[in-house]
Structure 1
């Protein structure tokens, strides 16, 4: 969520003529994130988020937009895409696809407690089950195929030890994905990017309430246990070392499993999925750091964070069990 494409008040006013959302009150750019252009959009009828998609194509976007709409219809707390007067939920601005979604209440918690972890884990499980009858299908575009394409592009920026690690893990993940255990994993629409800044909470720190899950634009059909692994690698760690914190991890996993119990295949795959989740974000952060796109307000993340997490998961692989 950076500002790659400037949007003026006049641009927003013109866009709003395609909806029935009232008149423009204010427009403010959102500087966090790295993938799309986002603005807080306030009208006389409510508060929304305007997104211009910088990478995803118009043809790819119905999966994300309609998944959010589907989940919202099922009562999952997610941004609800707004419907244009034409009946569509997707349009264009400055030659780029764009959408307006409802703005959820609350804010993200940078230092979540076990209570926050439990709320997030339960809500993710509910979202997985609610997505089972979603009619559209699209792979996780940042999955194994993307890792295989992107690792060669970032290798020139790595030292020998880093290059050996990233290639070893990629080879192991490729082999694992071809095996029977992986093929048996429950699979369906997944968020694939459920970091702590993509969940909003109301209430107080001591008594948090779920506000909702945001930013579905890395979502795709993938194994649900990969989605869980992505989440706990951010929510349940000591930030400086990447070590998993047992109280937060147990709170997250237990709350998730109360809604959707884990399968035997997921239990077997768990150590590999934790490494897969770390590899995915190490690769993407390397790519964004060394091969960035221009943006007005771009803050690339430090790739070394997920390198540390990956090394930690490999070092303690036998200790990681569901």
Structure 2
């Protein structure tokens, strides 16, 4: 049995040597093919090569961001039934998909899902503009959520760059390195921290959206919080879509009609607690597809999904649910 093992050594809590040793021990009878790609091109080349050799299974060791990058490569195949079952080892900053499907924290138990689990075909969310197309599996959005995600990613990347900059003083590099690993250990907590900063710096001037829903009247909104969810929770603590499933063929759209920083913060707190019904500013929809358009040509849209910026500086975004598009191994 050929098993392709993708290890993102840059992910949040990865010890690549330990992961490889645990996988080899748990799957000692398999024909294992490992890759620790340093670039997106290396990752794409590895996955394409393994698909060409008709690998029987893929193991992805990393967080939601790693899974998302791999997803972009796999979704290039027109016949999605050719994608082999995917097993996840949680080891990233954000592990929302692993949390949602109940992946064990133990590496050996997680990889044994190949033999001891069952295939669960989950929905894939297609996110596109006239010029670009991307995919996501968990949660995404625009407005304040996208600002928070972008701030978190920039903060981590800035610390990583400072920690390796040869022009910086040794003591400064040491502090930057320690700060970087502290942020990695925070996991999804870094997004909560950046949500506060996003609210503090949010500029509502010119912000407005028109939402086109097939068969329904268009919706106009100034909501600064626009969340698109394929599963219930974000970061294992925010609960924007408590009744959503990643196998029902629909995606949840959540709007928050708030206007002040205090109201934005209250909305974020309500989402964190999962009690959306008690806050009249929320509007929630379960949809198969819809389109978001900026009402102001000078205010472009940025969309994040699975913790990554998927589309940036576009005027319109189309969202579509691809029902049960990806095979994932889970425990019953």
TM-score by length of 1: 0.29
The structure whose RCO (Cα within 8 Å, separation 6+) is larger is 2
- Between structures 1 and 2, the one with greater helix share: 1
TM-score by length of 2: 0.28
- Between structures 1 and 2, the one with greater strand share: 2
